[in-house]
Chain A
């Protein structure tokens, strides 16, 4: 169901250009410039940096009143020149904002003009993305940017045996785990975008204008030659699917899977990998799976029938719902600030396995999630740190996962995916409930 209010209270989504900033951050040697007023880039830097605790430089064309009236072309050109002079990026993403979309700046044309004026800028891949903040969410901006990057940089030639992995927006630790899995399957994998280093860097005493890491341009070029693509995205339309793009343009078969969280989704992912790599599932993962099953059995009584509220980005909520169903928790409210009909039908199907009919909220806000959580007598929340207010108000615990986590450290290092990530979530979830029960019992039981 969609929310009943005209207004939005405590948004459960972020705006479209923020997604562009995140996606470009996963490209090697890249930088983003937002074409709009100064505030947008500052807010997004703070919002991203607050979760990852990394420097996040996002440039702005810093439009003021005159440009808002007469057009921002000169500022955009100057902005690009300055960014190139000081950051020397290999790839420069230029994303619009609500302001420049509304005044009707054609950024593609402005960039083309600039390249005419200064041909040496052609050495840099300047990639425009349209991200009007008044439509869709940050996940639309994220996916549209991936599409724009592939459209520009994927170059077909003779086929390789590599696998493309389009993970969507998951944690830096998740991406590192994916790399490890590909290595164990003895198959080259191309992960796009790859934020594992760029948003979870090391300290070596230096401030890097552009941090090392990210998917390299040659690797992006090779995506059009891979044996197949796997994408963790089942909710978006084909126009926003990287796998669908490569399939239609370059005949690369694509598999769109749910994010591998929970044993059911993980099995699907590992079976798919085995199928496309023609490799057996490595022994290590069979063992991890066995250990996860063992942990699920150990935990089952603490979890059974507990009523949970899950919220966040559509694909992430879908995966978490599946995980909860696997372990016997009852997701009674599944909510996203964005979402579409596909989201609703996927959640229904997933929950139907356990005979549960959760309340499914799309295009919702935290005010409504809070109300529904209260009405359904929910006992726990799973999602970003923005559920903190609901947890306090209702006196129920919150398991912080996904993005953003602004009130704890280590959000970028949270492992959610694979058997190992699922085990991590399972332990945290179970211990959160055990700790609560221990507190509530008051006796101070030494064995729980």
Chain B
């Protein structure tokens, strides 16, 4: 590599490779270009629309993508494919986001600085009092700690921070490197708990030990160690714990207000606006209500086994699921007064939001959404919420859904809906483009991808500033969707081929559709 020739040649090679790449892309069963090894992670629900109606290019295009496999299984809950730009995070991330909202606990990350820097104040979990959880503590491991071990530093850091902040408890998160150098977190935590008299709980969240689901599990295991510590606690009648609500934008306060009006008490929120003492007596509640099932079902099951507390899965998103969830809770208690109050509450709330929703329905009817979120249960609620404002969901997916979650999604989804597990920007961009999506719902990382494609975006992620749960949340959701779709800025942004773009995937899909015109043969694989 010493001559000018070589360098220009290399450069030209790249251009050629790009062109070859464009030509080489073979449409697979979804009519889009999928990362090798991920074929099983995308499927679609069958529909009765006849594909490839001649002379209608829009229908032909649609045909190409809806001619997919339709068996009941989707590959999911596996490690991400190397080299794919997965939207998932790691075990540590899963554990951190679930436990971190406990506001009066010290959350210390044992590892190098990055893990702490990138998760500092990462989600707006509001607290009604202390805000210790908004500080990001790290042992900031250095090279010498990696060589000689980080236990001493961890112990010193814990003692220092506990003395400084006087927390009610502490969680110590392990990171990738701690798993490798083999620091004995349990022993250090036990010593510090002994010395300080507060619970100090290790969270086994080494990043590489699986995906975000493993992190949720690690979080549940850690929380379970705290539950039951308040030994004086007597069972509280007519009370519940809320599991898996993180009080984004104060949402849990809305839900607690509903419960108060129904005559039901809350022992612990886990973990939005939560306190160590609440979690420690969570075993005294009569029922566990699991809102984010992906993260908290494991804890609910452990509590059922240990304390005999039954649990139900609910969703606070959308008027339909919100109403049903409150009725579910009310019926558990088999109390006529609660039942009556619940019905009254639902009636009042619906009467307040329904007329306003009508405004949005008129403006949004017929628009198409794509939903790609962390948990599958939320995805299901979103399908219903969009339906409630007259919209359809053409793509639905999650980072961490399991087989049974995807079965539920399939049941709820409209025919023809594409279902995707552990997606990446490459595949999402193609789906948004080919299916002519009007609005994309996803995390912060996906937002600019949608925008570049000229597509509206709904911030239904943990950065939201407006509550989206509850009946008022549904109204906020409609407003959020409308504020992006109805913006005049999109009039200026060219889309698809209008942008002078003939992307590999849309070309492939079109050609495929043309070939298939008039036939109804389903191609496998």
Contacts and interface: CB of A to CB of B under 8 A. Distances in A.
B83 A8 contact: no
Contacts of A260: none
A interface residue count range (under 10 / 10 to 19 / 20 to 34 / 35 or more): 35 or more
Interface residues of B, number: 95
Interface in B50-92: 79-92
B495 A205 contact: yes
Interface in A14-60: 14-15, 17-18, 29, 33, 36-47, 49-50, 53-60
Contacts of B116: 8, 11
Contacts of B81: 62, 78, 82
A64 B208 contact: yes
Nearest to A47: B118
Contacts of A157: 3-4
A123 B140 contact: no
Contact of A42 (B86, B143, B452): B86
B180 A68 contact: yes
Contacts of B493: 203, 205
Given A39-B89, A43-B119, A102-B177, A155 B135 contact: no
Contacts of B128: none
A206 B495 CA distance: 7
Contact of B11 (A54, A201, A216): A216
Interface string B486-515: 000000011110111101000000000000
Interface stretch (A130-138, A263-271, A354-362): A130-138
Interface stretch (A85-93, A172-180, A296-304, A309-317): A85-93
Contacts of A17: 114
B156 A83 contact: no
B261 interface: no
Given A38-B90, A42-B87, A9 B136 contact: yes
Contact of A39 (B139, B207, B429, B498): B207
Given A8-B138, A133-B113, A217-B11, A203 B86 contact: no
Contacts of A11: 113, 116-117, 120, 136, 138, 140
Contacts of A413: none
B83 A82 contact: yes
Contacts of B35: 82, 85-86
A99 B181 CA distance: 10
A10 B135 contact: yes
A61 interface: yes
A118 interface: no
B211 interface: yes
Contact of A134 (B86, B87, B134, B143): B143
B179 A68 contact: yes
* Residue in A42, A50, A68, A133 with the greatest tally of chain B CB atoms within 10 Å: A42
Contact of A86 (B118, B175, B426): B426
Contacts of A68: 176, 179-180, 208
Given A76-B82, A134-B145, A39 B135 contact: no
Contacts of A319: none
Given A18-B114, A102-B181, A39 B445 contact: no
Interface stretch (B12-20, B266-274, B412-420): B12-20
B143 A9 contact: no
A119 B464 CA distance: 48
18 contacts: A8-B140, A9-B135, A11-B138, A15-B114, A41-B85, A43-B118, A44-B118, A57-B85, A59-B85, A60-B80, A62-B81, A99-B177, A134-B112, A204-B494, A205-B495, A205-B499, A206-B453, A367-B135
A50 B444 CA distance: 7
A366 B81 CA distance: 37
Interface of B: 1-4, 7-8, 10-11, 13-14, 17-18, 21, 33, 35-37, 79-93, 108, 111-121, 134-143, 145-146, 153, 156-157, 160-161, 175-177, 179-181, 207-211, 425-426, 429, 433, 443-445, 447-449, 451-454, 493-496, 498-501, 503
Contacts of B18: 88
Contacts of A57: 85, 425-426
Contact of A82 (B7, B82, B135): B82
Closest CB pairs A-B (n = 3) = A39-B90, A82-B83, A205-B499
A56 B499 CA distance: 21
A38 B80 contact: yes
A113 to B, nearest CB: 16
B426 A134 contact: no
A83 B13 CA distance: 17
A10 B135 CA distance: 6
Contacts of B33: 86
Given A15-B113, A81-B83, A99-B177, A45 B445 contact: yes
B90 A37 contact: yes
A238 interface: no
A149 interface: no
A42 B90 contact: yes
A55 B90 contact: no
B139 to A, nearest CB: 6
Given A97-B176, A206-B501, 18 more contacts: A6-B153, A7-B108, A7-B160, A15-B117, A36-B176, A38-B90, A45-B85, A49-B448, A55-B448, A55-B452, A59-B84, A60-B85, A98-B111, A98-B177, A102-B146, A135-B143, A203-B454, A208-B452
Nearest to A40: B114
A218 to B, nearest CB: 6
Interface string A396-420: 0000000000000000000000000
Interface in A189-221: 201, 203-209, 216-218, 221
Contacts of B88: 38, 42
A157 B8 CA distance: 14
A43 B82 contact: no
Nearest to A36: B176
A60 B176 CA distance: 15
